[in-house]
Chains A and B, each alone.
Chain A
Amino acid sequence: MTQPIIQLSGVDKFYGDFQALSQIDLDIRTGEFFSLLGPSGCGKTTLLRSIAGFETPSVGSLHIDGKSMDRVPANKRPTNMVFQSYAIFPHMSVAQNVAYGLKARGLPKAEIHERVSEAIAMVGLQGFDSRASHALSGGQRQRVALARALVLKPRVLLLDEPLSALDKKMREQMQSELRRLQRAVGITFVLVTHDQEEALTMSDRIAVMFDGKIAQVATPQTLYGKPSSRRVGNFIGMMNFFDAKVLSTSGETVEVDVQSFGTVTLPLSQAPGGVEGCQSVGIRPEMLTILAEGRTAEREIEAVVSEVFYYGDMTYYDVNLPQKDAPVTVTMRNTAGRKVLAAGDTARVGWSPVSLLLLQ
């Protein structure tokens, strides 16, 4: 196991009485694409800015590459940042922007020139060298900001919601481009985002944050499939929740009485946050199926469709289950020949105990 590139331990940050970060312990591995994900105001940007050196943690320690970053100013850290507003210097050309950091290091002119054209080519902006930077589109600015940071070959590249200002098409294109760039340069990327889809598609690992605390650090698959708490499950994708009561635990299994579903026996691995204090059971909408005529499932339950949302490739159904007030969402792929139900229809909903998650 390689040494983590960034190590935070016990980091707190206070603004007056407001606690922006509390007890952050986090290791970011060398060369990984790491995301900080959370709703706005959860402290993810404060955490990123602390790593960059623009904020000083009130308590706790930060090590980058094994070296303590106490009293190391932002301009002496082995990190570079891509800002949300891109912060392209408007009075300089594209090439001047990219060369800025190299000039600050006092490198010879020939080397600067070579590395600048290399970086501009890497982000696909060949021929734009002398373009005034205020005459660039959003996507192009983004690329200049990336080139400007990557040309310095930092140990860590910090990205503060870099895609939030782009339109949907452009954003998707930049997502795959960022991923490609990260693999090509092998630099550790730390991305801040509030967009869970973006985090899932791009990252090797994700830290989910709420109210200044880290709720869970895991790979995208684990985060989606085995969220450690109800809150994480609800934030990453959609999830239906049922009241539940733990009846007994024995060895590797736990017996739970679940609203609507009745008594089920779950393996302990279905309680990723531990059994202690669990009061609800969650299930992803795609783990429920609306059974067609003649089909059967491991377990079935009668339901009434209350709302239908047709998305083209998918249909989202809100269905009412017995003994449950709030409707439950079921998503179905619209494969050939499948009938789209209407509101008011009765349906048989199929489910399986292994897709239930016991959550706090």
Chain B
Amino acid sequence: MGFIMLPMVLPEIIIGVSLLVVIVQMGFELSLFTIILGHILICTPFCIAILSSAFMNLDQSLEEASIDLGQTRWNTFRLVIFPLVMPGIVASLLIAFTISLDEFIIAFFLAGTEPTLPVYIWGQLRFPQKLPSLMALGTLLLLLSIGLLVLADFVRRRGLKKTGIESSGGFL
């Protein structure tokens, strides 16, 4: 668990540089695919944190009750476990999306000829005449991020309510 959480506390610049070295050493071309790999690494701890709290809030006897009532293991997952952890899954997807959308440093190191949006914006900053449209783009990006994070926490809280658990402070 601690090992999986490590990327959360490591400075991104270190992750970025070390991934670059490893990927180049292994002989891979830098592309959007390598950025995806880097982003999976930094999003995983966040997703695990949310999902493990969703699964831990689940009463284990619910699973046993379903099997006891004659249901198969697969249907137990489909009818009981999945609906109850669904909000956690949605929230973790949204958080991962937001992190990946905003992330600059790792994307900057690992981008080949295909930049992500933040890397593209940074590149365009050299041209003063493009500044107003970049400002607008930056604002949109910020609003989208905030919107998604709020949505993610809303979904998570609704899930907690559904299982009858009081919110324990919230992720945000």
Q: Is the CB of B71 within 8 A of A104?
A: yes
Set A53, A134, A152: member contacting B69, Cβ < 8 A: A152
Query: For this complex, into which size category does the number of interface residues on chain B fall?
Result: 20 to 34
- Give CA–CA (A52, B84) in the complex, Å: 25
List the interface of chain B (C-beta within 8 A of A): 59, 61-62, 64-72, 75, 79-80, 83-84, 162-164
Set A79, A84, A89: member contacting B80, Cβ < 8 A: A89
Convert A76-94 into 0s and 1s, putting 1 for each residue whose CB lies closer than 8 angstroms to a CB of B. Answer: 1001110111010111000
Q: Is the CB of A89 within 8 A of B62?
A: yes
For A85, list chain B residues within 8 Å (CB): 59, 61
Query: For this complex, into which size category does the number of interface residues on chain A fall?
Result: 20 to 34
Q: Is the CB of B67 within 8 A of A74?
A: yes
- Give CA–CA (A74, B75) in the complex, Å: 14
Q: Summarize B's interface: helix, strand, loop or mixed.
A: helix
- Give CA–CA (A100, B75) in the complex, Å: 11
Residue A148 CB within 8 A of the other chain = yes
* A81: nearest chain-B partner, CB-CB: B68
Set A73, A76, A104: member contacting B75, Cβ < 8 A: A104
List the interface of chain A (C-beta within 8 A of B): 52-54, 73-76, 79-81, 83-85, 87, 89-91, 100-101, 104-105, 134, 148-149, 152
For B62, list chain A residues within 8 Å (CB): 87, 89
Q: Tell me how many residue pairs across A and B have CB atoms closer than 8 Å.
A: 65
For B163, list chain A residues within 8 Å (CB): 90-91, 134
Q: Is the CB of B71 within 8 A of A100?
A: yes
Q: Is the CB of A80 within 8 A of B69?
A: yes
For A73, list chain B residues within 8 Å (CB): 67
For A91, list chain B residues within 8 Å (CB): 83-84, 162-163
The 10 A-B pairs at the shortest CB distance, nearest first, are namely: A101-B69, A87-B65, A134-B164, A87-B61, A104-B71, A104-B70, A83-B61, A90-B163, A75-B67, A81-B68
- Give CA–CA (A91, B164) in the complex, Å: 9
How far is the CB of B61 from the nearest CB of chain A, in Å? 4
- Give CA–CA (A89, B82) in the complex, Å: 12
Q: Is the CB of A100 within 8 A of B69?
A: yes
Q: Is the CB of A87 within 8 A of B59?
A: yes
- Give CA–CA (A80, B69) in the complex, Å: 7
For B83, list chain A residues within 8 Å (CB): 91
For A76, list chain B residues within 8 Å (CB): 70
Since A74-B67, A81-B68, A148-B69 are in contact, a sample of 5 more A-B pairs with Cβ atoms closer than 8 Å, ordered by chain A residue number, is: A80-B68, A84-B61, A89-B80, A90-B164, A100-B66
Q: Is the CB of B65 within 8 A of A83?
A: yes
For A100, list chain B residues within 8 Å (CB): 66, 69, 71, 79
How far is the CB of A95 from the nearest CB of chain B, in Å? 14
Tell whether A74 pairs with B80 under 8 Å between CB atoms, given A80-B69, A152-B70: no
- Give CA–CA (A85, B79) in the complex, Å: 19
For A87, list chain B residues within 8 Å (CB): 59, 61-62, 64-65
For B80, list chain A residues within 8 Å (CB): 89
* B162: nearest chain-A partner, CB-CB: A91
- Interface pairs (21), CB distance under 8 Å: A54-B68, A74-B68, A75-B68, A76-B70, A79-B68, A81-B65, A83-B65, A85-B59, A87-B59, A87-B62, A87-B64, A87-B65, A90-B163, A90-B164, A100-B66, A100-B69, A100-B71, A134-B163, A134-B164, A149-B69, A152-B70
- Give CA–CA (A100, B71) in the complex, Å: 9
Q: Is the CB of A52 within 8 A of B68?
A: yes
For A104, list chain B residues within 8 Å (CB): 69-72, 75
How far is the CB of A312 from the nearest CB of chain B, in Å? 39
- Give CA–CA (A220, B164) in the complex, Å: 39
How far is the CB of A76 from the nearest CB of chain B, in Å? 8
For B75, list chain A residues within 8 Å (CB): 104
- Give CA–CA (A89, B66) in the complex, Å: 9
* A148: nearest chain-B partner, CB-CB: B69
Q: Is the CB of A90 within 8 A of B84?
A: yes
How far is the CB of B153 from the nearest CB of chain A, in Å? 20
* A101: nearest chain-B partner, CB-CB: B69
Most chain-B Cβ atoms within 10 A of its Cβ — which of A83, A91, A100, A148? A91
How far is the CB of A105 from the nearest CB of chain B, in Å? 6
* B68: nearest chain-A partner, CB-CB: A81
Set A53, A81, A134, A149: member contacting B162, Cβ < 8 A: A134
- Give CA–CA (A87, B67) in the complex, Å: 12
- Give CA–CA (A134, B61) in the complex, Å: 16
- Give CA–CA (A81, B65) in the complex, Å: 7
For A53, list chain B residues within 8 Å (CB): 68
- Give CA–CA (A73, B64) in the complex, Å: 11
For B72, list chain A residues within 8 Å (CB): 75, 104
Q: Is the CB of B64 within 8 A of A83?
A: yes
How far is the CB of A149 from the nearest CB of chain B, in Å? 8
For A52, list chain B residues within 8 Å (CB): 68
For A81, list chain B residues within 8 Å (CB): 64-65, 68
For A74, list chain B residues within 8 Å (CB): 64, 67-68
